Amino acid sequence: MNIREATADDFDRIWPIFETIAAAGDTYAYPTDITRDAALKLWIDLPVKTFVAEEAGQVLGTYYLKTNQPGPGSHVCNCGYMVSPQARGRGIATALCEHSQQVAVELGYKAMQFNFVASSNDGAVRLWNKLGFETVGRLPKAFCHPVKGYVDALVMYKWLAA
């Protein structure tokens, strides 16, 4: 598996992953009917950088990295990760998160924050904890899960600087 910076041309291979995950409505607070153009703007155009994990020409996963807040908060970055449903369970999310932390440090960020992690996303919460992220905030019933109803959203944070 190779992790490399994405280009706009890669979005044709990212879009099926993005569309499937957004349509499920159980992990991201994106509209379940988000358009390809809106997704392209969110995932490729607005972030500082976007990466893909690929193998044999197939995109297995992707992440973006952007500044979480401007000005006095600009030392903290935010990332979002998506892994193809067919590639789950292979350690791709772990590899993407570890890669994103290295890139964040290289870009001068001091911390990483996940703003809105659905508490029902057990796999992500477990992985982020394993990789050193702490839950620093809980937003009661802020995420409307399509099956579980209103669940908490977590704010997770990790200081990256030594």
Q: What is residue 147's predicted lDDT score, i.e. its pLDDT? A: 97
Q: What is residue 127's predicted lDDT score, i.e. its pLDDT? A: 97
pLDDT tens digits for range 97-119: 999 999 999 999 999 999 999 99
- E-strand ranges in 6-133 read 49-55, 58-67, 76-83, 111-118
Residue of higher predicted confidence among 8 and 79: 79
Whether the CB-CB separation of 80 and 86 falls below 8 Å is answered with no
For the domain with range 2-159, which CATH number is right: 3.40.47.10, 3.40.50.300, 3.40.630.30, 3.30.70.100?
A: 3.40.630.30
Domain boundaries, the chain: 2-159
Q: What is residue 159's predicted lDDT score, i.e. its pLDDT? A: 98
Q: What is residue 66's predicted lDDT score, i.e. its pLDDT? A: 98
> Per-residue confidence at 161, pLDDT binned at 50, 70, 90?
confident
Mean pLDDT for 152-160 is: 98
Residue of higher predicted confidence among 124 and 8: 124
Mean pLDDT for 47-69 is: 97
Distance from C-alpha of 83 to C-alpha of 52, rounded to nearest angstrom: 10
Q: Radius of gyration of the chain from Cα atoms?
A: 15
Residue burial 91-118, b: 16+ Cβ < 10 Å; e: rest: ebbebbbebbbebbeeeebeebbbbbbb
Enter the pTM of the model.
0.95
Q: Please give the mean pLDDT across all residues of the chain.
A: 97
> Per-residue confidence at 9, pLDDT binned at 50, 70, 90?
very high
Q: Which helix (H) or strand (E) holds 141?
A: strand 134-145
